[in-house]
Every structure is written in structure tokens, then in C-alpha cells.
């Protein structure tokens, strides 16, 4: 079997595993509990272990695929690579925070939700927490990054090319979230074309986010900066909303058009596309130097 | 070549495993203790697991055991340095380009990994246990995520203070100093509990603070200080690494 067909086989095994390992528990949970109860509500914590396990499905799938296809772990991008790459780690934290702040400005400009009344100390606390709280939570997003950016994207690059990896990888990543999107994750349930438009938007969102995360992985040869950026995007940006609105759920009650506009700052990540396309380094299924 | 981090991971796998398995062990021990005390006539799982809710006795016991495990882990990780305290090996390492920095870097990474594993495993175990209590009692316990988060950064901060001393004076003396400091703290607590009338109030105050932390009900100022801790700890850890790099060769002179 040549390299290309071996990689295609690996991609298929990986996708089957990562989708089934995440979708089965999600579908069971969605059928047994209300989504907003187990995924985002006050009772979320007792289900956190399940979310950690299912969120780590891509990492488990990567490990199992490598084991089943006897691929080994030579190019697993698990090294920290801090030396000379510290700036990328800093960027992984600061850029998603900047995107979150832009979103806050948009919320205030559109007068969405009940305005938050905060003291200077509270504002500083929230800002600090938005930057630092997601760091330990990066172990959760590491599961995804190790699978998507650490395995799928390089494999897609080696069977096709980089644009294919970015587009197909992003769409697959977006589709992977489908059991959550159909229950109202990110976009709610009250919008035209529900739930298909939501799934489509999630795919687009993931393609754009994937550009930045893939660029970080490329530049450092490590999956940790992308894990941190992913964690800050998920947790830090949500925390920043408290700077402008009184309650966490205020944003969930805004019209769909406003929700779409709130995702606009994410398009900033498109700026990384030219850099990503510029040169083919480190990845492409090759062992990082 | 696998590098020094790999070497440290292999050498210190016991500590890493401790970080991973201590939190589930803490929960298992607490449940066992609770069962030993409570099993008898009229035992019901609902009543038993209710003891783990915020006002239950078992909840307090669990936090206490978790803290003991946490400080135990701190003591054990001093051993990370003891394994490489040979003059010949250290001088050879120093002769390699970037040898000093790589040697110390590996130690700092493995220490951080031990504490990070303790945190991850703690959150996972706590959430799983919270799920069991929720399934049986229908109520959610106070979760320890914030406490574990705080513990991770406090641990990093404390390490960043004492590691340069370990590097400079050797782990043997460093370990003695650490054990001595624990004994002194224990004595101080014992004496305070015997002679200070407000001791119980102090303990209640600390307990109340922990509960408010877990509930996310801290005052503005306290919350600000808590949110300052992670950046301060990370900065201190990095500075501590730099200081340790400078002190290491001086420490090597004391090795046998």
C-alpha cells in the first residue's frame, strides 16, 4: 500500500472513531436530559467528566488510529517547543481575547442585553480571569487540537494540499459539533432554517478558526498553543461578555441577525490565511524538526 | 534524540502517576471512611451521599484529605531533583551546549506536569463524584473546580520560591527544610488551637471563605487577588527557572 492510500485509510479510521466516540454519548445525553441543562446550565458540572471524555474523543481516536495502523508517534507534535516560540504562546492567549473584546464593543454598540454595572476592580478581575482561567482548561481543548490540528489536518495535507486541509478539516470539525448544534449550541434554536443553517454556520466558523489554530501549530510544531487559543476562544471570550452584559445568558436571547454579527470579529483570523499559504513547513505529514 | 524532558518524564513517572491517581484515591478514601462510620442498621445510599453536599460532614473531610494529598505531593516532588545529584553527571550535562538550561527546564516542566495532572484528575474525579451524588440525591454538590484551580497556582508559586533553594543547596537539605517547615506550621496550628480562643472562629472563617470561593461569591477585593494569582504565579515560575539556571552550577559543587 502506498503512502497516499495508507493515509486515506488512516483518515477514515480516525474519523469513524472520533465521531462515534463523541456522538454516542452526546446523543444519549441529549435524549435523557435537556441540552441547556447538561451542557450549559447550572447542573453542567456533574456532566463535566462526560464532556471531558467526549471532547477528548479526537485525541483518543488519534491514539487508537496510530495504534491500529502501526503508525507510531514520531510526528505527534506533543513537544512544548517553548524555546523561540514563546511569542506564539502569547499570541494564542491575546488574540482570542482581542476578538472577544471586539465582540463586547459590538454588543454595546447594538445595545444588546442588560448593561453591566462594574467597578474598576471588577473589570480588572474579569479581564485577568479571561486571560488566565482558560489556561488550565486547555487540557479539555487539547483533546480536540491533538486530533484535528495534530492529526487530521496534516493527513489531509499529505493526501491533498493545504487549502483542502483547511476547508475539509474545518467542515469536518464543524460537522463533528452537529449533535450539539441541533440542540442550540452557539446559535440557539430560534432561527430560520434551524438546524441546518446552524450546522452550516458552525462549519464556516470552524474553517475560519481552523486557519488560526493550524497556523499556530505550523509555526510552533506543537499542538499546545492551538489548545490554549481554543480554550481562550471557548472560555475566555464567554467570560469577557460579563464586561458588557449583566447575565451570561443575555446573549442567547438576542435576534439571530445580531448573533451573526457577533461572530463577525472571528473573521479577523482570515488574516492568517496568506501566512498559512505562504510556505509549506513542518507539517504535511513530515516529522517536525 | 528524545531530549531532557523525555528523560525527566521517564525518571519521574512515579510523581506523575501520583499526580494522576491521588485525587481519585482521596475520594475513594473519604467514601470508605464514610462507609465504615455509617454502615449499619437503616443505612441508605441517599443519606450517605447527602453527607457530601456542602453542609455535610464528609464534604469537609474530603477537602481536608485533598489538602493533605496536595501538600504530600509538594513534598514528593522535591525528589525530582534528588535523582540527578551526582557531580560527574551534572558536570557532563553542563558541558553540553545549553546543558544547564535544558537540565533545569526538564525539571520545571515535569513539576508543572505533576501539578497539572493533579488538577485535571481532580476536576475529572470531582465532576464524576458530583454526578454520582446528583444521580442518587437529585442535588448538586459544591464543586471543587475553583479550589483546585487556586491550588494549582498556589503550588506553582510556592515551588517557584523553594526550587532555587533546592537547586543551590541540594534536595537533601531542601527536603529537611520543607519537612521542618511543615512540622513548625503544624506546631503553630496546634499551639494556636490550644491557646487562642478565637481559633475555631478562624477555622470557620477559612472554611466559609472556601465555600464562597466554590460558590463564586467572593468579595470584589478577594476576587481581584484570586484572579491576580495565576499571572503572578506564572511570572514567578519563569523567574524562578532563570534563577535556578544561574544557581545550578554552584549547587553542583556540593554534590558527591
Contact B43, B30 (CB under 8 A): no
B6 and chain A: CB distance < 8 Å anywhere? no
A125 and chain B: CB distance < 8 Å anywhere? yes
B107-142 per-position pLDDT tens digit: 999 999 999 999 999 999 999 998 898 888 888 888
Query: Cα–Cα distances in Å, from A150 out to A87, A146, A213?
Result: 20, 5, 10
Mean pLDDT of B49-63: 78
A123 touches chain B (CB under 8 A): no
Cell numbers linked to A35: 441540552
Of B127, B227, B230, the CB nearest to A135: B230
For residue B217, the distance in angstroms to the closest alpha carbon of chain A comes to 13
In a domain? residue A225: yes
Is residue A71 one of the residues assigned to a domain? no
User: By CA distance, what is A79's nearest residue in B?
Assistant: B5
Cell of B27: 475520594
SS (H, E, C) chain A: CCHHHHHHHHHHHHHHHHHHHHHHHHHHHHHHCCHHHHHHCHHHHHHHHHHHHHHCHHHHHHHHHHHHCCCCCCCCCCCCCCCCCHHHHHHHHHHHHHHHHHHHHHHHHCCCCCECCCCHHHHHHHHHHHHHCHHHHHHHHHHHHHHHHHHHHHHHHHHCCHHHHHHHHHHHHHHHCHHHHCCCCCCCCCCCCCCHHHHHHHHHHHHHHHHHHHHHHHHHCCCHHHHHHHHHHHHHHHHHHHHCECCHHHHHHCCHHHHHHHCHHHHHHHHHHHHHHHCCCCCCCCCCC
In chain B, what is the greatest distance between 2 CA atoms, to the nearest angstrom? 70
> pLDDT tens for residues B74-84?
777 678 888 88
| A118 reaches B (C-beta below 8 A) | no
Comparing CA positions, the residue from B182, B140, B133, B146 lying closest to residue B27 is B133
Flag residues of chain A having pLDDT under 70.
1, 41-42, 247-254, 279-289
Does the residue A200 lie in any domain? Answer: yes
Which residue on chain A is closest to B151 by alpha carbon? Answer: A136
Contacts (Cβ under 8 Å, ≥6 apart) of A251: A107, A112, A113, A241, A245, A259, A262
Show which of residues 8-67 on chain B sit within 8 Å of chain A, judged by CB atoms.
none
Q: A127 to chain B, minimum CA–CA distance in Å?
A: 9
Sign of dihedral through CA atoms A136, A140, A141, A144?
A: positive
Average pLDDT (B152-166) is 90
**Record: contact A133-B140, CB cut-off 8 A:** no
Instruction: State residue A250's pLDDT score.
Output: 56
Establish if B223 touches chain A: CB-CB under 8 angstroms: yes
Using the beta-carbon criterion (under 8 Å), do A125 and B227 form an inter-chain contact?
Answer: yes
Q: Is residue A192, in this structure, part of any structural domain at all?
A: yes
Those residues with Cβ within 8 angstroms of residue A268's Cβ, 6 or more apart along the chain or in another chain: A95, A98, A99, A102
Flag whether A42 is in a domain. Answer: no
The answer to whether A231 touches A137, Cβ cutoff 8 Å, is yes
Rounded to whole angstroms, the Cα distance separating B90 from A5 reads 48
Domain boundaries along the sequence of chain B: 4-252
Q: Compute φ and ψ for A56, nearest 5 degrees.
A: -85, 5
Q: Which of A188, A213, A184, A250 is nearest to A99 (CA)?
A: A213
Does residue B1 surpass a pLDDT of 50?
yes
**Partner-chain contact A52 B127, CB within 8 Å:** yes
Q: Is residue A236 domain-resident?
A: yes
In a domain, A72, yes or no: no
A144 vs B165, residue with greater confidence: A144
pLDDT at B105 over 50: yes
Residue-number span of the structural domain to which A115 is assigned: 79-278
B chain contacts of residue A128, beta-carbon cutoff 8 Å: 224, 227-228, 230-231
Count the domains in chain A: 1
- Test the A interface: residue of B220, B225, B228 with most A CBs within 10 Å: B220
Torsion angle of the four alpha carbons A30, A34, A39, A43, in this order, in degrees rounded to the nearest 10:
-130
**Contacts A–B by Cβ distance under 8 A:** 68
Cis before B156? omega within 30: no
Among A43, A44, A48, the residue to mutate for chain B (most B Cβ within 10 A): A48
Which of A47, A128, A136 is closest, CB to CB, to B119?
A: A136
Longest dimension (CA), chain A: 65
Which residues on B lie below 8 Å from A46 (Cβ)? Answer: 127, 130-131, 133-135, 140
Please indicate, yes or no, if residue A154 is contained in any of the structural domains: yes
CB contact, 8 Å: B146 with chain A? no
Best mutation target among B127, B147, B222 (most A Cβ atoms within 10 Å) is B127
- Tell me, what's the pLDDT at A1? 59
Is residue B251 scored above 90 in pLDDT?
no
CA distance A172 to A143: 16
What's the pLDDT band for B41 if we cut at 50, 70, 90? low
What is the C-alpha separation between A270 and A202, in angstroms, rounded? 16
Predicted pLDDT of residue A83: 83
Q: How far apart are the C-alpha atoms of B63 and B143, rounded to whole Å?
A: 11
* Rounded average pLDDT over B146-163: 90
pLDDT in tens, B200-248: 888 888 888 888 888 878 888 888 888 899 999 999 999 999 999 999 8
Q: Under an 8 A CB cutoff, do B221 and A121 touch?
A: yes
Amino acid at each position: 500500500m502506498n503512502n497516499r492510500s495508507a493515509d486515506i485509510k488512516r483518515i477514515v479510521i480516525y474519523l469513524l472513531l472520533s465521531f462515534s466516540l463523541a456522538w454516542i454519548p452526546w446523543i444519549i445525553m441529549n435524549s435523557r436530559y435537556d441540552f441547556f441543562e447538561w451542557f450549559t446550565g447550572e447542573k453542567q458540572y456533574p456532566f463535566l467528566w462526560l464532556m471531558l471524555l467526549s471532547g477528548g474523543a479526537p485525541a483518543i481516536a488519534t491514539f487508537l488510529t496510530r495504534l491500529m495502523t502501526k503508525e507510531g508517534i514520531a510526528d505527534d507534535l506533543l513537544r512544548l517547543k517553548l524555546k523561540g516560540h514563546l511569542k506564539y504562546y502569547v499570541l494564542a492567549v491575546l488574540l482570542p481575547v482581542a476578538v472577544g473584546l471586539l465582540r463586547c464593543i459590538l454588543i454595546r454598540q447594538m445595545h444588546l442585553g442588560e448593561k453591566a454595572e462594574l467597578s474598576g476592580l471588577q473589570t480588572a478581575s474579569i479581564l485577568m480571569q479571561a486571560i488566565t482561567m482558560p489556561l488550565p482548561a486547555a487540557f479539555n481543548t487539547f483533546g480536540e487540537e491533538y486530533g484535528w490540528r495534530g492529526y487530521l489536518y496534516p493527513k489531509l495535507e499529505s493526501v491533498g494540499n493545504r487549502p483542502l486541509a483547511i476547508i475539509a478539516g474545518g467542515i469536518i470539525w464543524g460537522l463533528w459539533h452537529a449533535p450539539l448544534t441541533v440542540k442550540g449550541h452557539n446559535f440557539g434554536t430560534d432561527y430560520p432554517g434551524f438546524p441546518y443553517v446552524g450546522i452550516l454556520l458552525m462549519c464556516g466558523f470552524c474553517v475560519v478558526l481552523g486557519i488560526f489554530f493550524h497556523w499556530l501549530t505550523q509555526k510552533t510544531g506543537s499542538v499546545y498553543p492551538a489548545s490554549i487559543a481554543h480554550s481562550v476562544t471557548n472560555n475566555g471570550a464567554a467570560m469577557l461578555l460579563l464586561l458588557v452584559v449583566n447575565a451570561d445568558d443575555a446573549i442567547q436571547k438576542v435576534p439571530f441577525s445580531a448573533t451573526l454579527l457577533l461572530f463577525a470579529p472571528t473573521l479577523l483570523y482570515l488574516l492568517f490565511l496568506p501566512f498559512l499559504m505562504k510556505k509549506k513547513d513542518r507539517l504535511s505529514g513530515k516529522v517536525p524538526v | 534524540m528524545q531530549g531532557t524532558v523525555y528523560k525527566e518524564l521517564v525518571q519521574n513517572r512515579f510523581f506523575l502517576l501520583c499526580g494522576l491517581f491521588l485525587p481519585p484515591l482521596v475520594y475513594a478514601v473519604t467514601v470508605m471512611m464514610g462507609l465504615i462510620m455509617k454502615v449499619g442498621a437503616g443505612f441508605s445510599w441517599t443519606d450517605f451521599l447527602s453527607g457530601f453536599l456542602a453542609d455535610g460532614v464528609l464534604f469537609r473531610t474530603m477537602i481536608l484529605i485533598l489538602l493533605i494529598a496536595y501538600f504530600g505531593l509538594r513534598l514528593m516532588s522535591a525528589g525530582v531533583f534528588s535523582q540527578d545529584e551526582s557531580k560527574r553527571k551534572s558536570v557532563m550535562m553542563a558541558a553540553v551546549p545549553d546543558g544547564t538550561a535544558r537540565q533545569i527546564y526538564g525539571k520545571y516542566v515535569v513539576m508543572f506536569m505533576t501539578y497539572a495532572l493533579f488538577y485535571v484528575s481532580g476536576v475529572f474525579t470531582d465532576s464524576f463524584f458530583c454526578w454520582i451524588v446528583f444521580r442518587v440525591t437529585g442535588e448538586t454538590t459544591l464543586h471543587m473546580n475553583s479550589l483546585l484551580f487556586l491550588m494549582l497556582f498556589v503550588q506553582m508559586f510556592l515551588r517557584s520560591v523553594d526550587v532555587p533553594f533546592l537547586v543551590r543547596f541540594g534536595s537533601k537539605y531542601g527536603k529537611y527544610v520543607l519537612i521542618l517547615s511543615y512540622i513548625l506550621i503544624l506546631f503553630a496550628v496546634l499551639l494556636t488551637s490550644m491557646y487562642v480562643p478565637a481559633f475555631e472562629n478562624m477555622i470557620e472563617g477559612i472554611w466559609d471563605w472556601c465555600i464562597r470561593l466554590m460558590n463564586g461569591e467572593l468579595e470584589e477585593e478577594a476576587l481581584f487577588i484570586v484572579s491576580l494569582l495565576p499571572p503572578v504565579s506564572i511570572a514567578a515560575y519563569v523567574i524562578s527557572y532563570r534563577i535556578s539556571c544561574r544557581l545550578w552550577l554552584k549547587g553542583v559543587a556540593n554534590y558527591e
